[in-house]
Amino acid sequence: MISSTRFAKVAPSHVFRILNKFGPRRRGLSTAAKVDPLGDKVHSDIEEMRIAGTYKTERVIVSPQKAEIKVSNRNQPVLNMCANNYLGLSSHPDLIVAAKEAMDTHGLGLSSVRFICGTQDIHRELEEVISKFHRKEATILYPSCFDANAGFFEAVLTKEDAIISDSLNHASIIDGIRLCKAQRHRYEHMNMKSLEEKLVASKDARIKMIATDGVFSMDGDIAPLRDICDLADEYGAYVFVDECHATGFIGKTGRGTPELCGVEDRVLVINSTLGKALGGATGGYTTGPNELIDLLRNKARPYLFSNTLAPAVVGASLKVFEIISHNTELRDRLESNTTFFREELAKSQTIQTLPT
């Protein structure tokens, strides 16, 4: 190694200028403090996740999303049983054609939020189609259902109100609730006695909103919406349902848990996604009363400050609703396959299935 004294004698002056330019201060570190608290914390967090077994790695798919996929570093295709591609529409040829046609007629993107210059005729058409499908008055589109959940509670509820949430609700509902100033109550998972206790505790709130997933994605639990609506009626509360893991295939015609439980007219608001059963691309929405949707258009921050949904996704989504509204063939096949799979698993001596 060259000593610092010797280096000073042989190094040209411009080398020192370069070293000073890219020294500790330019790297975000003080010259006085050689420590890196952020780097230390990040490293520690990652190590803790590795030890706990929660560190995540990403599988790289080199084919379209479908039942059989190709992955990197493997020659043979693999059976994919972990996607949310419930109806097998993620690579449906009719959707791909519709997406390409929408790009030809409406471009790649809008480079704008909706209220400035980001609303095309097909966006309004899709909102009307979704409203009709769910039998609601109006719909508002978002880049994702995470955004829909993030935008809803803050825009609608204040400190005078109360939100009563199932303890196993999706992270996006939890985060959305955190953003609003309403009183927060959490009831035990699908426990109606616990829900009633929370409703009693929030009896003085101006607005009481019960929030639940329709289908809970981890275990497949289906919320007892009829019982929830009965309690809502008794205590003057409103019902909000996240239908991301239900829209398109739960219920006789795929209209989700409200249809399955016979309470479509008793659920005030439905939030759902275009990114699972409905093509698997991206996008989410809120559907409900006309005036409430109008309020969200003016106050929901993810809507106001995020680019509008890409025309290709809108075009493909219109085709999805055309397909699932025409007949129930896809959801019927899914139900049949699921029943067959569970029955065969039940015959196994080593695999235990959860009750339906």
Phi, then psi, of 4 in degrees rounded to 5: -60, -35
Phi, then psi, of 38 in degrees rounded to 5: -65, -50
Would you say 212 and 240 are in contact if contact means Cβ atoms under 8 Å apart? Answer: yes
Catalytic residue among 136, 245, 272, 319: 245
pLDDT digits (tens, 9 = 90+) for 21-49: 444 444 455 555 579 999 999 999 999 99
Residues in the chain, pLDDT under 70: 1-33, 349, 351-356
Give strand pairing partners of 271: 242, 286
Task: Please tell me the predicted confidence (pLDDT) of residue 348.
Answer: 80
Q: Would you call 132 a catalytic residue per the annotation? A: no
Rounded-to-integer distance, Cα 187 and Cα 297, Å: 30
pLDDT digits (tens, 9 = 90+) for 311-322: 999 999 999 999
**Tokens 């939030």, residue located:** 271
Q: Would you call 170 a catalytic residue per the annotation? A: no
- Give, as one character, the DSSP assignment of residue 245: T
- The answer to whether the predicted template modeling score (pTM) of the entire model surpasses 0.75 is yes
Give strand pairing partners of 187: 166
Q: What angle do CA 58, 108, 280 make, to 5 degrees?
A: 40
Task: Please tell me the predicted confidence (pLDDT) of residue 140.
Answer: 98
From the list 38, 94, 85, 47, the residue with the least C-alpha distance to 66 is 85
Rounded-to-integer distance, Cα 326 and Cα 222, Å: 26
Task: Please tell me the predicted confidence (pLDDT) of residue 30.
Answer: 53
**Tokens 């009965």, residue located:** 230
Q: Would you call 41 a catalytic residue per the annotation? A: no
CB atoms within 10 A of CB 338: 14
Task: Please tell me the predicted confidence (pLDDT) of residue 347.
Answer: 85
Catalytic residue among 70, 189, 194, 217: 217
